Amino acid sequence: MNTRHTVIDTATLGPVTIVATDAAVTGLYFRQHIRRPAQELFGPSVSFVGDTVLGEAVGQLLEYLLGQRRDFDLPLNPAGDDFRQQVWREVGAVPFGETTTYGRIAQRLGDRSAAYSVGRAMGANPLCIFIPCHRVIGANGSLTGYAGGLKRERVLLELEEPAAVSVGRLF
C-alpha cells in the first residue's frame, strides 16, 4: 500500500491533513482532531503537486472553502465496519446547505433508537468535510460533537448557508 499525506494551511480551518492510500482519499484531519490517528499512520509527507489523488482532493477542498464547489467528486475509501459505512453513506447523501439529525439517520437505517451509535460512527468519520458530518446536528438544533471542533462546524455550516440568509445577517 502506498499511504502518504499532505498538509495545507487554510484561512478558515487552519492546517488540514489529507491522507491517501493508493488511488483513494482515506483521511482528512485537523491538528486538534478528536480521534486523530497517530502521525506515523499517515505515511510520508508529500507535495500534493504531482500526486493525482492528493492534488485533486486539495483542489476540491479549496474550491469548497471558496464557495465554488458544493459537492465532492473524489475516490474515497474510509476504513470502518459495515454499520459505520452505512452511516457515512447516509451522511454523504445530505445535500449542501441542509442538515439532519443523528435520530433521522438512525431512522433511515431502520432503528430510531440507534441515534447514539450513529453519533459514535460520526465521531469516527475519517473523512470529515468530504463525508459532511458537520451537517449532522442535535435533535434540538444544537451543534454537538464535531470531531474538528464546534467552531469549525459552525464555520462550515455558515459557509453553506443560502446567500439570502447570510446577507440578512449583515443587517
Q: Mind listing the pLDDT tens digit for each residue in 62-82? A: 999 999 999 999 999 999 999
**Contact (CB, 8 A) for 16 and 54:** no
* DSSP conformational letter for 12: T
Question: What pLDDT, in 10s, does the model give residues 132-165?
Answer: 999 999 888 888 878 888 999 999 999 998 654 4
Annotated active-site residue in 131, 133, 147, 156: 133
**Contact (CB, 8 A) for 55 and 46:** no
Give the pLDDT score at 162.
67
Question: What pLDDT, in 10s, does the model give residues 77-131?
Answer: 999 999 999 999 999 999 999 999 999 999 999 998 999 999 999 999 999 999 9
Measured CA to CA in angstroms, residue 47 lies from 33, 34, 54, 150, 165 at distances of 22, 25, 8, 29, 38
- Give catalytic status of residue 128 as yes or no: no
Cα(146)–Cα(150) distance, integer angstroms: 6
Q: Is the pTM of this model over 0.85?
A: yes
Place 171 in a pLDDT band, splitting at 50, 70 and 90.
very low
CATH 3.40.630.10 fits 82-153, yes or no: no
> Residue ranges per domain, the chain?
3-65, 82-153
Which CATH code fits 3-65?
3.30.160
**Contact (CB, 8 A) for 84 and 124:** yes
Question: What pLDDT, in 10s, does the model give residues 28-43?
Answer: 999 888 888 989 999 9
Q: Is the pLDDT of residue 61 over 50?
A: yes
